[in-house]
Chains A and B, each alone.
Chain A
Amino acid sequence: MSTTAAHCDGCGTPLAGADHARCRARRAATDPPRYCAACGRKLVVQVLPAGWTARCVRCGEAGVAAR
């Protein structure tokens, strides 16, 4: 799991200096994370009927959830 969140996990751009309200809304409503919060790379995401897994090819596992 990444510890430092420098990037938005919805759009991959740096968190600082930009408004990510739409990204947060999408994450809350219908989306798993799409980008690595630590390095900003696109995540490999597998959505399952009752959950999802997300992995960064550089940083490793980026999240698992049972939803």
Chain B
Amino acid sequence: MTVIQSDVLDVARRQVLEGGEGLREEQVLAVLRLPEEALQDALALAHEVRLRWCGPEVEVEGIVSVKTGGCPEDCHFCSQSGRFETPVRAVRLDIGSLVEAARQTAQTGATEFCIVAAVRGPDERLMAQVSEGIEAIRAAVDINIACSLGILTAQQAQELEDMGVHRYNHNLETARSHFAKVVTTHSWEDRWATLQLVREHGMEVCCGAIVGMGETLAQRAELAAQLAALAPDEVPMNFLDPRPGTPLADLPVVEAPDALRAIAAFRLAMPRTVLRFAGGRELTFGDLGARDGVLGGINAIIVGNYLTTLGRDPQEDLDLLDELSMPVKALSETL
């Protein structure tokens, strides 16, 4: 069925806002193709959808890398792959600094703290380090702990569940039809299988995307539909930061209007998910910061720095939420 461009927002109002049913792939594509004059209407509708199905709260998260660089995989966007000549050197974080990072994150009012490692999947040493780290954080800081440690076995998923990991992040990154252009050392299906394990073991599923890796708009719509089919609890939206030395280093930064169309379209495809502003927003939006996004369907942010790059001052984001009368989600609401 073809969707008439000008009608898609009217359809979305009934189907998504009133009915709670996300847009389908061809409808998402129509949103991604909206002319600039319709962009504000699309964002306003996505914002209404977010308020209607998720509420006004914003979920705040901090992330930290416990094992940086030297990854054997070849994700073409990633400065932590050991296969590319990038400026990132391998380093590991000690437990004391990990606990301090969790404490700093909690001080911003964040309810989620994600422990990330640049690996294909965790080995015994990393699992032991994560286990020790989680115990140490629990003893000192009141915060939900998430992990992002790559491809899991069923046993590892069980172990993480036993450690009390609240949510597990594993991104599909891009559309299935585009994946082999971006990663050759593992498949989209490998990633999908890990996401199923995460769900089977009762952890919340966090599965994100990077927009701007050379995919077509149709593939961007395909990705939204594939994410919607997964029905993740959270979708972190990243915009490509073309890192020096990576195969994608020369791609252009996603332009703000395209990024905003993607945000609105993803929200309209997934009315109930936690849609998080993640990496790349500083480059794509510059001084506009988070404002247009959180008024266009976003209901979660990463505060502070990322894994290898620096983010905005957390206070600027928190001041913005305050100004927009969007309360930061409390820990008691997440359990």
Which residues in A have some Cβ–Cβ distance to B below 8 Å? 11-12, 29-32, 34-35, 42-52, 67
Contact = CB atoms under 8 A, between A and B. Distances in A.
21 contacts: A29-B282, A31-B309, A31-B310, A34-B87, A42-B87, A44-B90, A44-B91, A45-B91, A46-B68, A46-B93, A46-B97, A47-B307, A47-B310, A48-B64, A48-B104, A49-B62, A49-B305, A51-B305, A52-B305, A67-B305, A67-B313
Nearest to A22: B244
A45 B63 contact: no
A5 B63 CA distance: 32
B101 interface: yes
Nearest to A57: B89
Interface in B300-318: 303-311, 313-314
B144 interface: no
Interface in B42-97: 62-65, 68, 87-91, 93, 97
A62 to B, nearest CB: 12
A66 to B, nearest CB: 9
A42 B308 CA distance: 14
A46 B105 CA distance: 16
Contacts of A49: 62-64, 101, 104-105, 303-305
Interface string B16-32: 00000000000000000
Contact of B65 (A12, A42, A44, A47): A47
B283 interface: yes
B89 A43 contact: yes
Interface in B306-335: 306-311, 313-314
A10 B102 CA distance: 28
B241 interface: yes
B91 A46 contact: yes
A67 B104 CA distance: 11
A46 B130 CA distance: 17
A28 B295 CA distance: 27
Contacts of B64: 47-49
B283 to A, nearest CB: 7
Contact of B305 (A42, A43, A44, A50): A50
B104 A30 contact: no
A37 B241 CA distance: 24
B310 A52 contact: yes
Contacts of B100: 48
B62 A45 contact: no
Contacts of A29: 282-283
Contacts of B89: 42-45
Contacts of A46: 65, 68, 91, 93, 97
Nearest to B65: A47
Contacts of A48: 64, 97, 100-101, 104, 305
Contacts of B101: 48-50
